[in-house]
Chains A and B, each alone.
Chain A
Amino acid sequence: KNQVEQSPQSLIILEGKNCTLQCNYTVSPFSNLRWYKQDTGRGPVSLTIMTFSENTKSNGRYTATLDADTKQSSLHITASQLSDSASYICVVKIQAGNMLTFGGGTRLMVKP
């Protein structure tokens, strides 16, 4: 069964600190992996997309990594800001068809 597991479920950090969110998946055959940011009361917004051959991709203070061998991805947030408070969702797409598998998300709270 295709599954995406994210950890931790929730995280509280102080403003200015770094943090890393984890995503493990069993989806096969793999096509790509996206990280989304979802602000409270809003729809998800894509941060990064990674294909099988990509190990690292950055978007400003967000850096995603992918290890396709171990089926793990991480999202590293550098120098966190209050506006980073949101849920972060890992989504994996299979090679054929229209199916995405969404993780349950990590809820991040950045405190001043």
Chain B
Amino acid sequence: NAGVTQTPKFQVLKTGQSMTLQCAQDMNHEYMSWYRQDPGMGLRLIHYSVGAGITDQGEVPNGYNVSRSTTEDFPLRLLSAAPSQTSVYFCASSYSGIGDGYTFGSGTRLTVV
């Protein structure tokens, strides 16, 4: 009963490097989202997907790419890391819709130096 699994849990990048944050869910949820959480601020939506092959931008998409080739996986790619992308990233999935009954992963803490 894994739920939503995010890897890695921690990552340090240098400015300009690229990387992929992994997210996988085993609940057969159609809806998946990526959020970032910054100190003192609410979670903000980066990208979301309503099913395999379908993705869309959220509130703060710049500097990030996503793809959804399978129902299970929803990776988030940082193209050229910047210090402003230092944050905690959460992946979430839902069976009923974006924002409904989310199951969240445990998060990836990313530091860009």
One digit per residue, 1 when the CB lies within 8 angstroms of any chain A CB and 0 when it does not, for chain B 81-113 equals 000000000101000011111101111000000
A98-B41 in contact (CB<8A): no
Q: Is the CB of B77 closer than 8 A to any CB of chain A? A: no
Q: Contacts of A98 on B, CB cut-off 8 Å?
A: 45, 48, 56, 58, 97-99
With A46-B101, A93-B99: A99-B45 Cβ-Cβ less than 8 Å: yes
A41-B106 in contact (CB<8A): yes
How many residues of B are in contact with the other chain, CB < 8 A?
Answer: 23
How many A-B contacts are there with CB distance less than 8 Å? 47
> Of A4, A42, A89, A99, which contacts B106 at CB under 8 A?
A42
B42-A103 in contact (CB<8A): yes
Kindly name the residue among B98, B99, B102, B106 whose own CB sees the greatest number of chain A CB atoms within 10 A.
Answer: B99
Q: Contacts of A45 on B, CB cut-off 8 Å?
A: 104
Chain A nearest CB from B46 CB (Å) reads: 12
How many residues of A are in contact with the other chain, CB < 8 A?
Answer: 19
Chain B nearest CB from A46 CB (Å) reads: 7
Q: Contacts of B4 on A, CB cut-off 8 Å?
A: 43
- Interface pairs (10), CB distance under 8 Å: A41-B107, A42-B107, A43-B4, A44-B90, A45-B104, A91-B42, A98-B98, A99-B99, A102-B42, A102-B43
* B interface residues (Cβ-Cβ under 8 A, vs A): 4, 40-45, 48, 56, 58-59, 90, 92, 97-102, 104-107
* A interface residues (Cβ-Cβ under 8 A, vs B): 4, 9, 41-46, 89, 91, 93, 98-105
